[in-house]
Amino acid sequence: MNLLLDEIARATARLADAGAASPRADAEELAAAVHGVKRAELHTVCDSAFDARFWEYVARREAGEPLQHITGRAFFRYLELKVGPGVFVPRPETEVMVGWVLDTLRDMDVQDPLVVDLGTGSAAIALSIAQESPRARVHAVEKDPTAFVHATRNVEDLDERGQVRLRLDDFGAALNELNGTVDLVVSNPPYIPMSEWEYVPRDVRDHDPGDALWGGGDDGLDAIRVVERTARRLLRPGGYVAVEHSDLQGNAVYWVFAEENGWRDVRNRRDLTNRDRFVTARLGTD
């Protein structure tokens, strides 16, 4: 048996005992990162090339450090992003919202759509839109300096056509020069109530930045309320907004986008697990 595959099997057992949600996948990803190959290529690593640093990585994962912080990379749609301490690790659930954004942009009768990503973090959303909608112009706002460094690195590495413009600013006040001109606003803001702290997985609450997790207010929706006001300011009539929330907040977020504030076609949409995940709305034209 290939030595590395044998060690991956042992690591899988250790990570399972430690409570990892996906122990085999984690072990393979750690091994791939250490040996500089893709997961599908692990069988090609010869016994003499085995790198004992693999067990250092496994120990860190056992202790609860996020997989992506150990490897320094996160995968999102078609992107490989640089991540680490101080920036929110993008989740697969958000990919569904980005898919809706891309479908909506394709349906718009706009030659060069203008998109704003509020609270961009690693720039996962902004870069995915730029990569998959080649004519889109994307402004991405992030207020945390550490996260902004990660976003800058990713944009420099992955924004081949120069579509993404980063802004270090609070998204409640940013981009006034674009007021009334934006076609679509998207955001994965913080939305977890502090009352839910004990239910948040340890590797999330101990390692993801707090400003990217805790939404503020008793219901955790203060940041989403800021997104609503900012989107209302930025969007042109008929423009769209998409904002992520937890699977328990769909009804509450729906009512944040109130008709009396000009919102139309408000809908709660589901992720791949069929749970409420994001709300979309259109700014009225009347």
pLDDT tens digits for 59-106?
999 998 899 999 999 999 999 999 999 898 998 899 999 999 999 999
Check 66, 113, 189, 193 and give the catalytic one: 189
Residue 209 has pLDDT above 90, yes or no: no
Binding site residues, as ranges? 142, 171, 188-191
Binding site residues for substrate, as ranges? 188-191
Question: Residue 256, SS3?
Answer: helix
Give me the helix-helix angle, 53-62 and 3-17, nearest 10°. 20
Check 54, 76, 88, 278 and give the catalytic one: 88
| Both structure tokens of 32 | 């791939």
Residues 6 or more apart whose Cβ sits within 8 Å of residue 90: 74, 76, 81, 83, 121, 122, 124, 125
pTM for the full predicted model = 0.91
Q: Which residue has the tokens 């550490």?
A: 146
188 labelled catalytic:
yes
DSSP track, 201-243: -HHHHTTS-GGGTB--STTS-HHHHHHHHHHHHHEEEEEEEEE
Going by their DSSP bridges, the two strands 79-82 and 73-76 should be labelled as antiparallel
Residues 6 or more apart whose Cβ sits within 8 Å of residue 158: 79, 81, 127, 131
Distance CA(186)–CA(286), nearest Å, equals 22
88 labelled catalytic:
yes
187-200 tens-digit pLDDT? 999 876 666 655 55
Check 90, 113, 154, 188 and give the catalytic one: 188
189 labelled catalytic:
yes
In this prediction, residue 210 carries a pLDDT of 61
Counting Cβ atoms within 10 Å, is residue 107 exposed (0-12), middle (13-18) or buried (19+)? exposed
Residues 6 or more apart whose Cβ sits within 8 Å of residue 74: 68, 80, 81, 83, 89, 90, 122, 124
Q: What is the mean pLDDT of residues 142-155?
A: 96
242-285 tens-digit pLDDT? 999 988 788 889 999 999 999 999 999 998 888 889 999 999 98
Amino acid at 222: D
Binding site residues for S-adenosyl-L-methionine, as ranges? 142, 171, 188
